[in-house]
Amino acid sequence: MFLPEMAQWRRGLVYTARSEVSAPLSPGHEYRITASFKQRIGEGEKFTAYKKLYLRVTRLINTRIAELTCPNESEPLHTWIVCQGWGTFGDSHQIAIAF
């Protein structure tokens, strides 16, 4: 519910991490990072910039991966994309998302 005295957020970032992911990673374990980016679409506007949203999400993830380290490992972390997607949601499909 929107209250008139509350400011509407135009942009935002939500970041939640398990405490063990911020420490050096343990070899032989799997860690997952999930990210998405949402953008409001104007009413009646046809949205075609999914590539831009997806590149923004992958840049965010790659930056986070570059910050992670594994003790005694000189090789970069082995990473892969488990799931990816893009689309619109909301009652009138006015929010574009890439994840």
Reported as a pLDDT band with limits 50, 70 and 90, residue 98 is very high
Tokens representing 33? 């990072």
For 55-89, write each residue's pLDDT tens digit: 988 988 888 888 887 777 677 778 888 899 999 98
DSSP 8-state code for residue 67: H
Number of Cα atoms under 13 Å in the Cβ half of residue 56? 13
What's the pTM? 0.69
What residue segments make up the domains of the chain, in order of their start? 33-98
User: Which of residues 89 and 10 earns the better pLDDT score?
Assistant: 89
